[in-house]
Amino acid sequence: MVSPQTPRWLQGAYGAWMVVATTLWFSLVSFGFSQPGVRRAFLRRGHWFDRTMGVVLIALALRLALSRS
């Protein structure tokens, strides 16, 4: 974890790493989903992905709402 005692140069390095990693990840994802075959497949079956993610997020929300702290 980054604490207030972490040197500024190291905090900056962590920030730079997150910028690079995030940029690379989203570039890869956008490149992948822009391919015609992948795009067609996702448009055909994307509703199942949406439904599955909806169920997962609702389950996580219920677990969080019903948990005791």
What would the pLDDT profile of 23-55 be if each residue is shown by its tens digit? Answer: 999 999 999 999 999 999 989 999 999 999 999
Sequence-ordered list of residues with C-beta below 8 angstroms from that of 33, at least 6 positions apart, any chain: 39, 42
Is residue 12 a part of any domain in this protein?
A: yes
Is residue 37 a part of any domain in this protein?
A: yes
* Residue range of the domain that includes 32: 8-66
Q: What pLDDT is attached to residue 68?
A: 85
How many domains does the chain contain in total?
1
Q: How confident is the model at residue 2 (pLDDT cuts 50, 70, 90)?
A: confident
CB 2 within 8 A of CB 11: yes
Is residue 3 a part of any domain in this protein?
A: no
Is residue 2 a part of any domain in this protein?
A: no
Pick from 22, 20, 18, 21: nearest CA to 2: 18
